[in-house]
Amino acid sequence: MTRVSVQQDDFDPGAELAALTDGRTDIGAAVSFVGLVRDIHGGDTVSALTLDHYPGMTERELEKIADEAGNRWELDGIRIVHRFGRMEPGERIVLVIALSAHRRDAFEACDFVMDFLKTRAPFWKREETQNGEKWVSAKASDDADADRWNS
C-alpha cells in the first residue's frame, strides 16, 4: 500500500501513522522520518523556504521512488507526504513512513526514499535570507547518499 500526497497544508505525523497501522497486527516495524525547515543554511539565517514543484510530475516521481523501495524491501506499506509553498523555520516539510514485518527493511526503505526524494523529486527550493532570496543548489553529498544504493 503506497500513499503519496503533495500538499500545501501541514500534516500530523501521528495521525498519518495511526491511519496506516490502525487495526493491523501484521506490522512489526514502523519507521518514520519528518523533515523540518531549518533557520540556518550555508551560514545564512533563513527566515522562510519556498518549495515549488511541477504538479502531476512530482506525484508520479514520488510514486516511482516508493515503488522502488517496495521492490527492494519487504514492506507492508509506505506513506510519503511532501509539502510545497512558503514555510518558516520549524515547520514540517516532508514525512516518510515505511511499514514492515521487520525493522531492518523499514529502516532501510525509509532511508532510501529520503535519499531519492532529495535527488530525484522535482522540487525547487528558494530561501529568504538576510541577504535576500536565493535558489538552493543541489548538493554533492545528496548525490553521494543516493549513489550508495547503486552498489
| Full set of structural domains in the chain with CATH | 2-135 (3.90.1170.40)
Contact (CB, 8 A) for 27 and 101: yes
Reported as a single tens digit per residue, the pLDDT across 123-143 is 999 999 988 898 888 888 888
pLDDT at 142: 80
Show the low-confidence residues of the chain (pLDDT under 50).
none
Which residues, other chains included, contact 32 with Cβ-Cβ below 8 Å and sequence gap of 6+? 13, 17, 95, 96, 97, 98, 110
pLDDT at 140: 85
Contact (CB, 8 A) for 21 and 30: yes
